[in-house]
Chain A
Amino acid sequence: MKLDLRAARIKLLMAFVLLCLPVYASPISEDSAVSVLYAGSLAAVMENGVGPAFTKAKHIGYQGEAQGSLGAAQMIRDHVRTPDVFISADPTVNVKVLMGAQNGNLVKWFSTVAYSQLVLAYNPRSKHAAKFQEAQAGKTKWYEVLQIPGVRFGRGDPSIDPKGYRTLFLFRLASRYYHHPEIAGLIGDAMNPAQVFPEIVLMARVESGQFDAGIFYKHEVTAHKLPYVSLPGEINQGDARFAKLYAEESYTTPSGQTINGAPILFTVTIPETARHRETALSFVRFLLSSDALLKEFGFSTAEHRIGGDASLVPVELHDLVAGGYSP
Chain B
Amino acid sequence: MTGRIKFTFLLFTLLGSILLGDLVLPILNLLIHPDWHGWMVAVRQPGAIEALKISLQASFIAVLLMMFLGVPLSYALARADLPLKRLWISLVFLPMVVPDLAGGILLLQTFGPNGTVGQPLDSRNIGLTNNLAGIVLAQIFVAAPFVIVSAIAAFTSVDPKLELAAATLGDSRWQIFRRVSLPLAWPGIAAGLTLAWIRALGEFGSTLIMAYNPHTLPVYMWVKFESDGLTGALPAAFFLVVLAALAVGVSMLFNRMTGYADIVSGKVIGAGR
Contacts and interface: CB of A to CB of B under 8 A. Distances in A.
Contact of A201 (B15, B118, B212, B229): B212
A75 B229 CA distance: 6
A217 interface: no
Given A74-B228, A196-B212, A198-B208, A209 B114 contact: yes
Given A197-B212, A205-B108, A14 B229 contact: no
A198 B108 CA distance: 15
B130 A254 contact: no
Most buried by B among A80, A196, A254: A254
B14 to A, nearest CB: 10
Given A14-B15, A208-B105, A210-B112, A80 B230 contact: yes
A92 interface: no
12 contacts: A70-B226, A75-B229, A160-B223, A160-B226, A193-B130, A196-B213, A198-B208, A198-B212, A201-B209, A208-B109, A208-B112, A210-B112
Most buried by A among B109, B213, B214: B213
Nearest to A73: B229
Contact of A210 (B115, B226, B228, B230): B115
B108 A208 contact: yes
Interface string A183-216: 0000000000110111001001100111100000
Contacts, number: 69
A71 B225 contact: yes
Contact of B230 (A14, A74, A198, A209): A74
Contacts of B231: 78
Q: Chain A contact residues (Cβ within 8 angstroms of B): what range? A: 20 to 34
Interface of B: 15, 18, 47, 105, 108-109, 112-115, 118, 129-130, 208-209, 212-214, 223, 225-231
A77 interface: yes
A201 B209 CA distance: 6
Given A74-B229, A160-B223, A210 B130 contact: no
A75 B225 CA distance: 9
Interface in A113-134: none
The B interface, classified by DSSP as helix, strand, loop or mixed, is helix
A252 to B, nearest CB: 13
Interface string A293-310: 000000000000000000
Interface in A257-271: none
The A interface, classified by DSSP as helix, strand, loop or mixed, is loop
A193 B129 CA distance: 11
A275 interface: no
Contacts of A83: none
Given A160-B227, A210-B129, 13 more contacts: A71-B225, A71-B229, A74-B229, A157-B212, A159-B223, A159-B227, A160-B226, A161-B226, A193-B213, A193-B214, A201-B212, A208-B105, A211-B113
A14 B47 CA distance: 48
A21 B118 CA distance: 47
Contacts of A201: 208-209, 212
Interface in A2-46: 14, 21
A37 to B, nearest CB: 14
Contacts of B109: 208, 210
A209 B212 CA distance: 17
